[in-house]
Amino acid sequence: MGATQLIPPHGGHLVDRTGAGQEPTKPAISIQLSQQEQCDLEMIAIGAMSPLEGFMTEADFHSVCDNVTLTDGTIWPIPITCAVHQATAVKIGIGDRVALSDDANRLLGYLTVTEKYKCDKKKQTLKVFLTEDAAHPGVKVIMDSGDICLAGKIDVATARHEPMFAEHRLGPAQTRAEFQQRNWKTVAAFQTRNPIHRAHEYLTKCAQEITDGLLIHPLMGATKEGDIPAEVRMKCYEVLIENYYHPKHTMLSIMPAAMRYGGPREAILHAIYRQNYGCSHFIVGRDHAGVGDYYGTYDAQEIFDTLPNGGLKITPLKFEHAAWSKKAGGMVSGKTFPKIEGDQIFLSGTKVREMLTRGERPPAEFTRPEIADILIEAMKGK
């Protein structure tokens, strides 16, 4: 019996830029990457950003901004760049081999520079984030970064020093192998950067009904201040899966990507990641990858219908807002049950945080009690 046939990687092949090893001659220039760039380096290296093999050229940068594609026509929604300040850029020549390091100046890998170009920050922020407002966390990252982009392929020696949750840090080749081992042909991925509450649980279980397996795939790269700490979130995922999901049809693995809060365009990027990890379906809920009120509630779903060249191979599962209905006695959405005044149990994030800080459990119809207890413990004294 042959191996289970999975969805092909985006662009047709799975990139692997790992295993470079430390070079005997240290490059003359070393660049300390930002948190976002460190995440991007790891995602490129392990193939999660296939077909990218390095940081983007100027032509690809502009094509992505203008057309949502690379210059070869492959769909790609957000520029992936390595930006340095002018004082560093003047020391770097085309063809130079540059060392890339983390915050502690530990070697991560190398970049062979093929091009240097000025980053059009105004264009990038308006095209990708639809705003130049520095209060937007994604815009702020761009505005705080260097003005000169370095393009070229990367070679990674150590994608991440002291990685968090190493046992759950599976790359695309590993998740694909695991899916085949489990004989999953169709897999739904669920993107999250928060603990999973009852509405999220409902969406994931709807997806499980139409696929062989569910990959709960939390984003564990760089996030914004105020997001729940990774260790707390991970404990929530593990406890929830242990108590409320079928082990034969559920899998937990983390994704080391940076969160850009890019709304519709980032939803496309998240879908591409999951196709590379071997998932056939991708759950897209309300305000996916959004922040504040920069994007419409369902903009991140609608953008999939506007993609060029026939769109993506991975199938988006578009869900409406879900909540517990007292009359129906269960989770409902706008498609499954009419809206009745005062019927649905809905709590704002602010209200939930206030309750947890006071040591109060939100209603069981909103979140599982085990998850509430973890969050209450984590928020003590805050």
Look up residue 48 and give its two tokens.
């999660």
Interaxial angle between packed helices 230-244 and 369-379, expressed in degrees from 0 to 180 and rounded to the nearest 10: 160
Active site residue 67: no
Return the closest-CA partner of residue 275 out of 299, 248, 307: 307
Among the options 17, 160, 169, 193, which is catalytic? Answer: 193
Q: Which residue has tokens 């519709």?
A: 264
Q: Where are the beta strands (DSSP E) in the chain?
A: 30-32, 54-55, 82-84, 97-101, 107-112, 115-118, 148-156, 187-192, 213-218, 250-252, 281-284, 315-318, 322-325, 330-333, 344-345
- Give the C-alpha separation, 244 to 105, whole Å: 42
> Residue 259 is inside which H or E element, if any?
none
Q: Which residue has tokens 């928060």?
A: 194
Active site residue 193: yes
Please return the burial class of 198, using the count of CB atoms within 10 Å of its CB with bins 0-12, 13-18 and 19+: buried
SS3 label, residue 262: coil
Interaxial angle between packed helices 369-379 and 349-357, expressed in degrees from 0 to 180 and rounded to the nearest 10: 70
Q: What is the dihedral of CA 217, 219, 220, 223, to 10 degrees?
A: -170
Amino acid code (one letter) for 76 = W
For 209-244, letters b (16+ CB in 10 Å) and e give: eebbbbbbbbbbbbbeeeebebeebbbbbebbbeeb
Among the options 67, 194, 353, 361, which is catalytic? Answer: 194
Q: Which residue has tokens 């509450």?
A: 197
Amino acid code (one letter) for 294 = Y
Residue 252, CA distances (Å) to 100, 156, 201, 213, 280 in order: 30, 25, 14, 11, 16
Question: Catalytic residues, which ones?
Answer: 193-194
